[in-house]
Amino acid sequence: MNYEDLMKRAISLADQYKYTAKPNPVVGCIIVKNKTIISEGAHKEFGSHHAEVNAIEEAKKLQGISFVSFEELTLICTLEPCNHLGKTGPCTEAIINSGIKNVIIGAEDPNPLVSGSGIKNLISHGVAVQAGVCAELVQEQNKFFFFKNTNKRPYITIKIASSKDGKSHLADGDRTFITSKESRQDVQELRAIHDAILTGGNTVVNDLPKMNARVNFPLNQPKKILLSNKSNLDLSAEFFKDCNYEILNETGIHKIIEKYSKTDITSILVEAGPKLVNSFLDSGLVDKVIIYESQNNLGPNGVNWFKEDNTVEKLGFKLESSYKIETDTKKIYIKC
Ligand code: AOF
Ligand code: ZN
Q: Ligand 2 centroid to 232 CA: how many Å? A: 45
Left if phi > 0, otherwise alpha if psi is -120 to 50, otherwise beta: which for 132? left
Q: What percent of the chain has pLDDT over 90?
A: 86
pLDDT at 218: 97
Q: What are the tens digits of pLDDT across the range 153-164?
A: 999 999 999 999
By annotation, the residues acting in catalysis are 52
Q: What is the pLDDT of residue 34?
A: 94
Instruction: Tell the residue nearest (CA) to atom 15 of ligand 1.
Output: 24
Give the pLDDT of residue 10. Answer: 98
Q: Whose CA is nearest to atom 2 of ligand 1?
A: 50
Residue 114's pLDDT is what? 94
Distance between the two ends of the chain, CA-based, in angstroms?
40
**Ligand 1 atom index nearest CA of 111:** 17
Task: Give residue-wise pLDDT tens across range 187-211.
Answer: 999 999 999 999 998 888 888 889 9
Distance 277 CA to ligand 2 centre (A): 37
Task: Say if ligand 1 is within 6 A of residue 88 CB.
Answer: yes
Q: For residue 24, how far is its CA from the centre of ligand 1 (angstroms)?
A: 6
Ligand nearest to the CA of 142: 1
- Residues 142-163 have a mean pLDDT of 97
The predicted-structure confidence for 236-272, as pLDDT tens digits, reads as follows: 888 999 889 999 998 899 999 999 999 999 999 999 9
pLDDT at 129: 98
pLDDT of residue 21: 98
pLDDT digits (tens, 9 = 90+) for 284-308: 999 999 999 999 999 999 999 998 7
Contact 137, 110 (CB under 8 A): no
- The answer to whether the CB of 195 is under 6 A from ligand 1 is no
Give yes or no for residue 96 having a pLDDT over 90: yes
The stretch 29-33 carries a mean pLDDT of 98
Q: How far is the CA of 194 from the centre of ligand 2 (A)?
A: 22
Closest ligand to 91 CA? 2
Q: Which residues contact 92 (CB under 8 A, 6 or more apart)?
A: 81, 82, 83, 118, 121, 122, 125
Residue with the bigger pLDDT between 208 and 129: it is 129
**What is residue 88's predicted lDDT score, i.e. its pLDDT?**
86
Q: Is the CB of 43 under 6 A from ligand 1?
A: yes
* Closest ligand 1 atom number to CA of residue 87: 8
**Strand 317-325 relative to strand 328-335: parallel, antiparallel, unpaired?**
antiparallel
Ligand nearest to the CA of 88: 1
pLDDT at 234 over 90: no
Distance between Cα 91 and ligand 2 center (Å)? 4
Q: What is the pTM of this model?
A: 0.95
With the most atoms of ligand 1 within 8 angstroms of its CB, the residue from 17, 30, 50, 267 to mutate is 50
Instruction: Please give the number of the atom of ligand 1 that sits closest to the Cα of 51.
Output: 3
